[in-house]
Structure 1
């Protein structure tokens, strides 16, 4: 029996996270110095833990912070990174670049609070985003 192990790694701290703003495709400005350090630590740990069972594929979304994370992992694991558009994160519509406090107040909670309702004009629904990401990962 062949078993497939999937390991998900979230990006390190991004400028948008540190600044409390929605970092969508139009406004993501990448990882902070701390974010680079966090991903480097995760990459070293993964490489060490999987020395005897190496990874065979590495996928990342195209958003800058995701791509930067993938590049660090790629170097540490000795794997080429494949960029998959469907793994790019939720589409935020007009919320892209706004403060999360403003977006959550207007939407009566974060994207997951009302998973079948867009959280801003032109945004995904949370469940719609999860469906798209699931299909991209399949």
Structure 2
């Protein structure tokens, strides 16, 4: 390995609780209305952690999916990092990239429906049993979602090779990182991976040599009332 080699670091941040989650609405581009009251508290807690620990000081690139719940989560983090830069007397004027391929599974015609309406119209579906079946007309299957999200992560890592990158995204995208970087079955792993709200999952390395540094780190939520906004 070259002495000039520098690892790429990816910190994946799941968004805080979303209002569509509270309301039982399928939250694609139409259904997502951003964070719930508790979701904002989740994201503020992450920001307070970053303000105190400085663990995001090395981050050079900030990326968000294009869904409001991810954008708002990253906004809270950026606000905290701006405050930290003032305390440190350092310049901090980040550019946030928005990447549409880092959104959650695209629900197609189910976008904006309640889950009750979805079940009535399309019925229950186990993606592990049939990973190639789209969630609804115009939507993605589990397999196509895993591939799309994996490709997006690889593209981000390639475009920003050797840098530290923070990505506000979704539970499914974090699952895709596991599928892709650990070489798991692309068509519905049997292990249950459910990243918590504003959890941190960190990878380091590069193509073909990624290693998992941390998974589902939610230490900033200790002591926070985690009862849903319902």
TM-score interval (norm. to shorter) = 0.7 to 0.9
Higher mean displacement: 15-24 or 44-53 = 44-53
Q: In structure 1, how many angstroms separate the alpha carbons of the residues matched to 2:104 and 2:65?
A: 7
CA distance, structure 1, for counterparts of residue 108 and residue 59 of structure 2 = 35
**Cα distance in 2, alignment partners of residues 12 and 6 from structure 1:** 19
Contact 2:135-2:141 within 8 A present in 1 as well: yes
TM, length-normalised to structure 2: 0.53
- Which has the greater radius of gyration? 2
Which structure's residues are more often helix, by fraction? 1
Greater displacement, 22-31 / 45-54: 45-54
Q: 2:31·2:113 contact (CA, 8 Å) conserved in 1?
A: no
Q: CA RMSD in A?
A: 2.3
Return the structure number with greater relative CO, CA threshold 8 A, min gap 6.
2
Match of 1:67 in 2: 71
Distance 1:40 1:111 in 2: 33
Q: Structure 1 stretches of 5 or more lacking a match?
A: none
Aligned-residue offset at 1:24: 0.8
Q: TM-score, normalization: structure 1?
A: 0.83
What is the distance in 2 between the residues matched to 1:128 and 1:49? 38
Q: Which residue of 2 aligns with 1:24?
A: 28
Q: Which residue of 1 aligns with 2:133?
A: 117
CA 59–43 in structure 1, closer or farther in 2 if over 3 Å, else same: same
1:47–1:114 Cα change, 3 Å: farther
